[in-house]
């Protein structure tokens, strides 16, 4: 009987708010029919529930929410780190682009080496059955040079001249 | 429904604590801010006091969120913090007597009946505010918040037996006040 009384008291709130299932309502009403103590208790509770409580406006609640969230940035350390406002970050602005810059610089150095020391301009020239390497000669073009080349290599050479100072001789 | 709510609360807490998701925290605060205020108001009996208590309770709850072990529901845990905040606040303010500015719902009743009930409710409300804090708390949690005996015991940090004792003492006093009002009217 004692436990039933406690169970009924636990159902008080739901009964007064009309949120109980039908069988629970029947259980409560059956108990109330024979228990004056519970009738009084329910009566007191029902009267208390009829009193409206003054509430602040939405502005108060919105401000409250912001205050609580801002306080969390200070009082919950790890979360503060994750949600901290953007601050100046030396790593982000100075060191993070370094790999990209380094890669670009390396490419540039390789290109310059290839151009200046690797004979980037020259290529393989097929002459009959022979493959000869181009030779870049920085000379003033004159008949003397042509004659000397003919003397030295006979017919086994060709000369490419693009109008500039370079003459390409292929063997 | 309660279980769904509990699971959802735990998800929001994890989302905030592990992922730093502020919107999860915001959702949680929005969900419970009014309920915390109502408990605070019913404890303090004054809107301004209740606002202070609500803010203290929510800030304190968020600061201690990592200590929430999920053994009870978040709501029960939050109520416990609110109740402690209210008791500390009231202790600090040396229990001020406050003017209760409350109205009463009179939906489909006559004017005389409504006035009688209003007077009855007013006297009950005054008496509720004058009850010892733990008795008042047991009524607030049981009647207004609809917590079970076990949940009320968790929030109040005492045994179920102690809750029953506080609650029945409070109801007895309120019942006496109601009976006195009725008798006065009959005379």
Taking only the tens of pLDDT, chain A with its 171 residues reads 444 777 888 888 788 888 888 888 998 888 888 888 888 888 888 888 887 788 999 999 999 999 999 988 887 766 555 445 556 666 666 666 778 888 899 999 998 888 877 655 555 545 555 554 555 555 555 677 777 767 776 666 666 666 665 566 665
Query: What's the domain range around B130?
Result: 106-187
- On whether residue B101 sits in a domain, the answer given is no
Q: Is A67 on the interface with B (CB under 8 A)?
A: yes
Contacts of B101 in chain A (CB under 8 A): 54
Cβ count near A28 (within 10 Å): 21
Q: Are residues B74 and B113 in the same domain?
A: no
Rounded CA separation B157/B32 (Å): 21
- On whether residue A135 sits in a domain, the answer given is yes
Residues linked to residue A127 through DSSP beta bridges, in sequence order: A130
Q: How far is A48 from chain B (nearest CA, A)?
A: 6
Query: How many folded domains does chain A comprise?
Result: 3
Helix (H) / strand (E) element for A107: namely helix A98-117
Q: What tokens appear for A94 in the block?
A: 């100075």
Q: Are residues B89 and B130 in the same domain?
A: no
CB burial of residue B33 (10 Å; 0-12, 13-18, 19+): buried
Q: Are residues A142 and A166 in the same domain?
A: yes
Contacts of A9 in chain B (CB under 8 A): 142, 149, 167
Q: Is the ipTM of this complex over 0.85?
A: no
Query: What's the domain range around A96?
Result: 88-120
Contacts of B38 in chain A (CB under 8 A): 53, 55
| CATH classification at residue B160 | 1.10.10.10
Cβ count near B165 (within 10 Å): 15
- On whether residue A72 sits in a domain, the answer given is no
């Amino acid at each position: 009987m004692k436990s039933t009384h406690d169970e009924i008291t636990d159902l008080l709130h739901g009964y007064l708010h009309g949120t109980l299932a039908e069988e629970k309502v029947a259980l409560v009403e059956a108990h109330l029919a024979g228990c004056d103590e519970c009738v009084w208790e329910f009566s007191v509770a029902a009267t208390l529930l009829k009193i409206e409580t003054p509430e602040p406006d939405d502005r108060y609640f919105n401000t409250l929410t912001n205050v609580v969230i801002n306080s969390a940035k200070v009082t919950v350390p790890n979360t503060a780190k994750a949600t901290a406002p953007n601050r100046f970050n030396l790593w982000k602005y100075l060191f993070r682009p370094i790999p990209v810059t380094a890669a670009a610089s390396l490419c540039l150095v390789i290109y310059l080496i290839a151009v200046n020391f690797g004979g980037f301009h020259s290529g393989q020239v097929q002459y009959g059955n022979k493959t000869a390497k181009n030779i870049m000669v920085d000379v003033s073009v004159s008949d003397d040079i042509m004659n000397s080349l003919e003397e030295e290599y006979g017919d086994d050479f060709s000369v490419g001249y693009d109008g500039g100072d370079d003459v390409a001789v292929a063997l | 429904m309660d279980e769904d709510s509990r699971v959802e609360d735990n998800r929001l807490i994890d989302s905030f604590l592990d992922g730093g998701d502020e919107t999860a925290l915001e959702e949680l605060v929005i969900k419970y801010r009014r309920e915390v205020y109502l408990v605070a108001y019913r404890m303090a009996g004054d809107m301004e006091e209740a606002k202070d208590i609500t803010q203290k309770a929510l800030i304190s709850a968020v600061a201690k969120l990592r200590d929430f072990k999920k053994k009870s529901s978040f709501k029960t845990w939050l109520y416990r913090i609110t109740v402690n905040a209210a008791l500390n606040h009231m202790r600090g303010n040396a229990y001020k007597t406050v003017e209760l500015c409350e109205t009463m719902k009179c939906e489909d009743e006559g004017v005389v009946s409504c006035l009688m009930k209003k007077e009855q409710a007013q006297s009950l409300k005054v008496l509720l505010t004058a009850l010892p804090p733990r008795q008042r708390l047991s009524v607030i949690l049981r009647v207004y918040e609809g917590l079970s005996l076990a949940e009320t015991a968790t929030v109040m940090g005492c045994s179920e037996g102690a809750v029953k004792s506080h609650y029945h003492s409070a109801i007895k006093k309120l019942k006496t006040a109601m009976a006195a009002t009725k008798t006065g009217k009959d005379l």
